[in-house]
Structure 1
């Protein structure tokens, strides 16, 4: 469990935790891989959120997932970019969260993820919590803690 004073300081920056869905690039589950490839490449994202027509979160997609699907024995078959959809390739088991301000859960899940998708109770995509923003909050807390609190060592 995170010490309460540390958590309090971290939560002072809660407005920076989640990047809202309106600012996050997404692809539709029915888009062609060609379209998804262009979005990932043009926006220079390693991974992107996949949603359906009602903005429900469906998964994530990366360039590596696309290129892996294009590989054949001795070549890359780029014709598959137009033949396959995002749904054929996307990852559906990436962790998602409903509470973007649960610092402990976010830190635990961020060990293996660069971002976490945030969904509401109807699985609609709300935004993302990024490792970058969370680490900025940790850095802020570590640097500012001593300015607000006096730490006294416990005697053994």
Structure 2
């Protein structure tokens, strides 16, 4: 369990954690893979959220998911992208979080994910929380902990040199 004092300091910047859905590049589940290919190429993100009508969160899509569809035995078949939609390849097994955040859950999930989709109880995609923003909070904590608290070691380290 995270010490409440540490948790409070980390959460001082919580309004910066969420990048709202209106500022996040997304794809709709029924978009063609050609459209998805163009969007991912243009935004240059490794993955982006996929939503259904009404902003319901479906999952994430990445460029490798799209290019796998184009792979033939002897050549790339770009025309096949028009025959498939985003929903055909989207990864639906994605870790998501809900606002307000469980700080420990977020920290554990951000170890393996560059961002986490934030989804309401009703399934609506509300934005993302990025590892970058959390790292900024850790940086703040590391530089300001001694300004807010008197830090005294419980046990003094012994001099191991002879």
TM-score (norm 1): 0.95
Q: Distance in 2 between matches of 1:58 and 1:95?
A: 11
Gapped regions of structure 2 (runs ≥ 5)? 157-162
Gapped regions of structure 1 (runs ≥ 5)? none
| Per-residue Cα deviation, 1:78-132 (whole angstroms, up to 9, x for no partner) | 1111111000111000101113532211010111111111111110001100111
Paired position in structure 1 for 2:39: 39
SS at match of 2:101: coil
Are the equivalent residues in 2 in contact too, given 1:17–1:100 (CA < 8 A)?
A: no
1:108 has 2:108 as partner: yes
Runs of 4+ in 1 over 3 A off after TM superposition: none
TM-score (norm 2): 0.92
Q: Distance in 2 between matches of 1:99 and 1:147?
A: 29
Q: Pairwise CA RMSD of aligned residues?
A: 1.2
Q: 1:100 to 1:64 in 2, by over 3 A?
A: farther
Paired position in structure 2 for 1:17: 17
Deviation at 1:155, TM superposition (A): 3.5
Q: Distance in 2 between matches of 1:114 and 1:146?
A: 29
1:60 has 2:75 as partner: no
1:138 has 2:138 as partner: yes
**Greater Rg by CA:** 2
